[in-house]
Structure 1
Amino acid sequence: MIQFEEKIWFWVLLIIPILWLGFLVLQFWKKRTQKQFSNPELLKKLSPNKSFFKSILKIFVLSLAFGCFTIALVNPKMGTKFKDVKREGLDIVFAVDVSKSMLAEDMAPNRLEKSKQLVTQIINSLASDRVGIIAYAGKAFPQLPITTDYAAAKMFLQNMNTDMMSSQGTAINEAIELAKTYYDKEQESNRVLIIISDGEDHSTASEDIAEEAHDEGIQIFTIGVGNVKGGLIPIKRNGIVLNYKKDRQGETVITKLNEETLKSIAKAANGIYINGASTKTVVDSIKTQLDQLDRTELEASQYADFEDQFQWFLGLGFIFLLIDIFLLERKTAWLKKLNLFNENL
């Protein structure tokens, strides 16, 4: 399995088509300029060893060098070592609200992006715990099963958006029901469900289901994102606000953080509610709560130890760069005798 550490450096590959475009423009300019001072036959006699193929070969080798340097910057990592590990930890499931109300910008940059930031920072504070992710709106959808791969969890998290669900609403009850299926019933590990939502438009059955979940050994923490004063839901295209969401009567929708709902759900499952305005406060509060729970030994599992592979591509890049430097544009004597590209005609 391969992972890429710094994917943003893939943009450097755009240098390669720019190099080829510059090469083609230069060749066109050379041809046009040469025609003004000499005819092709005379030019061949004046420069018999000039090789157009070698010019193409040089730009090709230079492109390979840039390609290798770019991959080195991206730093691909390959899982080459596998070992069994035993660890103590918790099973933590994050249920993230992806309803349209999460696009409100009363919490910068908006509620959904703030939720992603909160989950990411909480994951960064973990050590040996397993994590899973659920997305929900009008329905709940399994995004990532329980895993120790934090990098994969963050990747799936960043791909979440409000277009994932066709049905709207805030089905916290369905998210809790789905979370129950995430935990291994044969293992006596402490189970935690962290719900991140604005608490709006929820089902009245959520508190009862949260209490049932607590009876099954699941502790629920809720994090509220949004402002109690409310915010508008922008409708954007290419990052530009075109309008704001309206209801069936044509009135602009104002979505508000419903803290009471989230507090009652947390209370029903022996958890706590945290306002998500301050990332540090959320992370510290969650960490304090998790540290109070007993971490049980989970079954041995295999994991891949990913090792950096950038050095191979860095070395190849320098080799191709040296080849390009020492590769002359004149014809090679022994290739000239073979006349593979009809250059002697």
Structure 2
Amino acid sequence: MTTLHFASPWLLLLLLVPLGLALWPFFNRTRRQPAALQYSDLRLAAQLGPSLRERGRVILPVLRLIGLALLIIALARPQAGSAREIITGEGIDIVIVLDISGSMAALDFDPNRLGAAKRVINDFIQQRKYDRVGFVIFASEAFSQVPPTLDYKVVQRVLDETQVSWDIGLDSGTAIGLGLANGANMLRDSKADSRVIVLLTDGANNSGQVDPITAAQIAKALDIRVYTIGAARPGPAALPFPDGRVEYRDSEIDEETLRQIADITGGLYFRAEDGEGLQEIYDTINELERSQVEVRTFTRYRELAVWFILPAALILALEILLRRTIFRTIP
């Protein structure tokens, strides 16, 4: 990014000099007595008016003041600077694993569990800067949506388009193990020093061919830390179905399994019972997983004074030339 600044900005106060010189004739007009000649008959000068040359002489002080102003600006040393960032260190590779089973449509969160999770995850992504972020969804099956990338807008767009399983024609199961395995596979070839999975679900594993504990052991073998989040309010919650029915169902979070996954991989387990609690959890994870990145900014400046000196010299030379030729006066 290019910026413009002056090395000696205080010298710009000298611009008040040409400004004062420009305004002085207006303030002095009332005090100055105009030159006069006596005529025996004023009718001799009645038809006389200022010549074209006399009218054009007004350009001389204008040119002089413009040249002086340009020289003052050049004296203040205008500079154009190009900033360059040098980044040392490495960011974290993070994969968001999100449950989209039918129960995520429950209304104990605002607007529902999935909607609250999407809003908080979106905020979480916005707070990352040098970390690659990937995205996996799961219901009865798991799908790798976005591989780890620094293009956060892509991840956020896919996240915004994410819907509950039955709205996109998927069976409403909960394959926690399969979702976790997909996330671990996404980070398998990562070269980052820190690799993290953040898994959110509101149920218990009841689908898929991979056991959650087996998936956790795979993640541990790949040196991946897993944070697990159970998102549901205790007690029955209203669950609207696509056909218009509404049922009240108790949460089925398998907290013991989620806690084991976190313990095996060196992560933490959290329980969220509302949107505010979910936000606090992601804020906590955000603080725990900080990039070890040092950013140094260097700015290289380029002197611009010559672009003011050259036109100033040409304008002043033109003023002198006109004063001694076309607008020359006889003493």
TM-score tier by shorter-chain length is 0.5 to 0.7
Q: Deviations over 1:113-168 (max 9, x none)?
A: 11111211211221210001001001100111111111111110010111345232
What does 1:23-62 correspond to in 2, within 5 Å? none
Q: 1:267 aligns with which of 263, 267, 276?
A: 263
1:289 alignment partner in structure 2: 288
What does 1:53-132 correspond to in 2, within 5 Å? 88-132=90-134
Gaps of 5+ in 1: 1-82, 246-251, 298-345
- How far off its partner does 1:92 sit? 0.2
Q: 1:168 aligns with which of 158, 165, 172?
A: 172
Q: Deviations over 1:95-125 (max 9, x none)?
A: 1100001011112211111111121121122
- How far off its partner does 1:87 sit? 6.2
Q: 2:237 aligns with which of 212, 227, 231?
A: 231
> Does residue 174 of structure 2 align to residue 185 of structure 1?
no
Normalised by the length of structure 1, the TM-score is 0.53
Instruction: Give the distance between the partners of 1:266 and 1:281, measured in 2 at CA.
Output: 18
Contact 1:96 1:134 survives alignment (8 Å): yes
Gaps of 5+ in 2: 1-84, 295-331
Q: Deviations over 1:66-89 (max 9, x none)?
A: xxxxxxxxxxxxxxxxx9977620
Instruction: Give the distance between the partners of 1:140 and 1:186, measured in 2 at CA.
Output: 20
Instruction: Give the distance between the partners of 2:287 and 2:252, measured in 1 at CA.
Output: 28
Q: From the superposition, tell whether residues 92 and 186 of structure 1 become closer, same or farther in structure 2 (CA, over 3 Å).
A: closer
Percent of residue pairs bearing the same amino acid type: 29
Q: From the superposition, tell whether residues 186 and 138 of structure 1 become closer, same or farther in structure 2 (CA, over 3 Å).
A: closer
1:149 alignment partner in structure 2: 151
Q: From the superposition, tell whether residues 94 and 229 of structure 1 become closer, same or farther in structure 2 (CA, over 3 Å).
A: same
Instruction: Give the distance between the partners of 2:169 and 2:137, measured in 1 at CA.
Output: 9
What does 1:308-319 correspond to in 2, within 5 Å? none
Contact 1:208 1:268 survives alignment (8 Å): no
SS at match of 2:289: helix
Q: Cα RMSD (Å) of the superposition?
A: 2.7
Contact 1:114 1:225 survives alignment (8 Å): no
Q: From the superposition, tell whether residues 217 and 295 of structure 1 become closer, same or farther in structure 2 (CA, over 3 Å).
A: farther
Q: From the superposition, tell whether residues 184 and 118 of structure 1 become closer, same or farther in structure 2 (CA, over 3 Å).
A: same
- How far off its partner does 1:216 sit? 1.1
Q: Deviations over 1:2-46 (max 9, x none)?
A: xxxxxxxxxxxxxxxxxxxxxxxxxxxxxxxxxxxxxxxxxxxxx
Instruction: Give the distance between the partners of 1:121 and 1:161, measured in 2 at CA.
Output: 18
Q: From the superposition, tell whether residues 189 and 155 of structure 1 become closer, same or farther in structure 2 (CA, over 3 Å).
A: same
Q: Deviations over 1:177-230 (max 9, x none)?
A: 111221252624311000011133446820232122112111000122111223
Contact 2:87 2:293 survives alignment (8 Å): no
Q: Deviations over 1:279-300 (max 9, x none)?
A: 4411321022203xx7489xxx
Letter in 2 for 1:150: Y
Letter in 2 for 1:103: A
2:322 alignment partner in structure 1: none
Q: 1:137 aligns with which of 119, 136, 139?
A: 139
Instruction: Give the distance between the partners of 1:184 and 1:207, measured in 2 at CA.
Output: 18
Contact 1:188 1:296 survives alignment (8 Å): no
Contact 1:200 1:255 survives alignment (8 Å): no
Q: 2:216 aligns with which of 206, 210, 216?
A: 210
Contact 1:190 1:295 survives alignment (8 Å): no
